[in-house]
Chain A
Amino acid sequence: MSSIAQYLLNGLMQGTIYGLVAIGFTIFFGVMNVIKFSHGDVLTFGAFGGLVAAWAATALGFPIWLELVFVVLISVMASAAIGAIIARGLVLPLKDAPPLNMLLMTMMVGTAIRECIRLFFPNGTNPQRFPELLPSGGFDLSGVYFRYDGLILIAAGIAFIFAVQWIINRTRLGLAIRAVAEDGETARTMGINFTLTVAIAFAIGSMTAGVAGALYGLYYSEINYSMGLILAIIGFSAAIIGGLGNIWGAIVGGYLFAGLQTAVVALLPALSDYKNVIALIVVVALIAWRPTGLLAERGSERV
């Protein structure tokens, strides 16, 4: 009983991270019809930004709560900034190019970020210790051990998901983003600054990566240069299961993927090394079954 709850908590944590990454994919796809594969490496960039912030905070003697705020803030800002720069400088100029060129571009941008961290971050090839800034310990509830940090992080992640959802669906900015997503040309004639809106949308999408990166570092206490790659694949597939362009679908996809992984680890411990492989096989089967995603209605191709 207690171990099931333990798996559940762990799965919830992973699902929150995956869901955050998937939201980014879904925003980029909704706005520009691109798969921005550098998203995972933007996440890594944000996490390393957070790490540097933690070092700086320690050097400056910040109290621990301020250090925590500082770390998360820098992670998010670093991701948002690089996401907006990529959108403005590299994605927008290619918006009329064949989709292969666009995918290659974002993939190579991701590779460049990944390699820069590996080569130029001090001792970047090796995993880096991420400081533990949240209260350690936890409490026991009928045999289930709840880690305080886990609970806080899950709550923070979900709160951020709601915040993004609110920005997209309830604010003027979100309205502009949705207008651009619907029809860029028309939005432009209605006086919306297309370039700026796209850059902001990419910044918001990339913030989710920054939050996910900070959560990852704070929860697992270790980050490395290549962690974004697998998170990107998982986030991408989660976004597809949810129906690309659908925020709630992306979140469902994220938790579904984490659920699949957790099920493999819990039910088939001998195969736990292959949990990603198995989860992805299930995902591909789901995509074959419902190509437009689990939540989306049947769409039709533009002719």
Chain B
Amino acid sequence: MTVTSMKGTAGQIVSSILVTALLVGSLVAVLEIEDQRALGICVAIIAGLSFLAPKLGILRGAEQAGAHHPWAVRLIILIGFCSLVLILKDNNFALLMIATILIYATVCLGITIQTGYAGLFNFAGAAFLGTGGYTAAMLANATWLPDIVTILLGGVIAAALGTVLILPVLRTRGHYAALTTLAFGVLFNGFLEANEMLGGPQGLKVPGIQIFGWDFSNDLVIGSLSFSFYANYVLLIGAIFALFMIFTRFIERSWIGIWLDAVRLDEIAVSVFGLRISVWKSFAFTAGNFLAGVMGAVYAKMTEFIAPANFTFGDSLLLVAIVLLGGIGNRWGVLVATMIVILLPEKLQFIQEYRLLLFACIIILLLMVRPAGLLARRVRVFEERH
């Protein structure tokens, strides 16, 4: 019996368990293996399995499980995530990588709402991430402010800045909105480097997170188990990521989701039916930048240090590349693509220097032969059952 023949609930649940296991297993393997040749073989095996998964119907099964039994799937993912943290519990580097992946994936969820749904260009993802980070750094002296508020403020400031950027060009052609984010993305670095108050090129130190006496800079101890202090951040970031995944899903499967798609596809035609184009454009842009800002603040607090070099235009381009590689508008595609784009250069060191060139070429190729990306977005179908 192949997996393909497993129809119904059981097949769907098994499929989602298999997909989760594949993701967790791949992450552990790639993060734990040090030897470059073994790593290469490992990556090849993962690529092979990923190629096989859709052929066996596993992906489709997992997708249907997500539609019909969302809470079961969420439980499976939660178990997968916890085992991942448990397996990597004292591996500082691995946990930092997981946290970085989740941070970038969240920013890309924001870009998915902006570009994938509403069709707004954002070539300043890294700059909005940085805005959140610098907000957290500037608020470091305000120790009376709870860290949760600081993090939220990071999101609010990034969202507000983004809104100020896009409002003047909201009624103009799409290209002009591209110009403002482009300019912001490119000039952000130089602006920070020239600004003494923001620490110039050397950057700023940022204190770690403390929530209700839970100090994120100490090792996490649960019962007799001891985790690296990064586990604190992985758990927090994982929770935020999960929240935003659900948020994005709810946006997409709602009237708002239809409105955003329509804004992207044909704004003139749908304005005739009463859709307020500029309202939905600003909503999408603001929401997306909020996600980036929140994660920027968390990122700054996790690394306890930020500098302009973390938020270059190249990073912004990588974020857009992730969204396109994953399959524009597909949330899970974002996660998979982030793993590839972040982990591959980090682990296969010979790529590191060439990563921007490599991903630029991959995107060029993708645009020519498979513009839908690795995991193409599906047509929206609302559940009609009770």
Contact = CB atoms under 8 A, between A and B. Distances in A.
A and B touch in the complex (CB under 8 A): yes
Contacts of B368: 90, 93-94
Given A107-B123, A280-B187, A115 B356 contact: yes
Nearest to A98: B119
Interface in A89-125: 90, 93-94, 97-101, 103-105, 107-109, 111-112, 115-116, 119
A237 interface: yes
Contacts of B182: 37, 233, 236
Nearest to A272: B194
Contacts of B361: 108, 112
Contacts of A94: 367-368
A301 B173 CA distance: 9
Contact of A103 (B121, B173, B360): B121
Interface in A56-102: 90, 93-94, 97-101
Nearest to A107: B317
B190 A97 contact: no
A52 interface: no
Interface in A264-289: 273-274, 276-277, 280, 284-285, 287-288
Classify chain A's interface size: 35 or more
Contact of A274 (B121, B194, B321): B194
A263 to B, nearest CB: 18
Given A100-B121, A285-B168, A301 B180 contact: no
User: Which secondary structure dominates where chain B touches chain A?
Assistant: helix
A276 B320 CA distance: 24
A153 interface: no
B258 interface: no
A103 B176 CA distance: 12
Contacts of A104: 320, 324, 363, 367
Given A108-B321, A115-B356, 6 more contacts: A98-B119, A108-B367, A236-B182, A240-B176, A273-B194, A277-B191
Q: Which 4 A-B pairs have the closest CB atoms?
A: A288-B168, A115-B357, A273-B194, A291-B172
25 contacts: A35-B178, A90-B364, A94-B367, A98-B119, A99-B174, A99-B175, A101-B371, A103-B178, A104-B367, A108-B317, A108-B321, A109-B360, A109-B364, A112-B361, A119-B357, A229-B313, A276-B187, A277-B187, A284-B168, A284-B179, A287-B172, A287-B179, A288-B169, A291-B169, A291-B173
